[in-house]
Amino acid sequence: MSDRDRELDEPSLRELMKKLGNDSRLLVRQEMELARSELSHELARMKRGLVAVAVAAALFNGGLLLVLFGLVLALGLIVPVWLSLVIIAAAACALGAALLLRQRPLFDEARRAGTSALSHLHDDIDAMRGAMP
């Protein structure tokens, strides 16, 4: 095969650049789909977590009110009822705050995952811009 025949078989620079542009657009589209999918997954997970927290809070609240009422009455036999109410209310607030703070890692993890997906997408776009003449 002569040099002339080989030149005709090889794609031209214009064809290569066109293919690179098409491949780059496809890559960006696929990266966006991946980021959207990752974010959607994390949002669904967060939603499940929020529903679980809401249900747990409602059940806990109902049961806790009954228990607290009993504790106020029992403590009211030792100290004035108003003081027993203050003591029990403070303890209940502290316990509720601690339970809610336990869910914070779920939201931090979801935020990191979303930030990571977007960061990868930005890195890919920057790399493609740097590669294009």
The verdict on residue 104 lying in a domain is yes
The verdict on residue 4 lying in a domain is no
The verdict on residue 2 lying in a domain is no
The verdict on residue 28 lying in a domain is yes
The verdict on residue 64 lying in a domain is yes
The verdict on residue 56 lying in a domain is yes
Domain count along the chain: 1
The verdict on residue 5 lying in a domain is no
pLDDT in tens, the chain (133 residues): 555 655 567 788 888 888 888 888 998 899 889 888 888 888 888 899 899 999 999 998 899 789 889 999 999 999 999 999 999 999 888 988 898 888 888 777 777 776 776 677 777 777 777 766 5
Q: Which domain holds residue 126?
A: 10-131
Q: What span, in angstroms and rounded, lies between the C-alpha atoms of 8 and 10?
A: 6
The verdict on residue 93 lying in a domain is yes
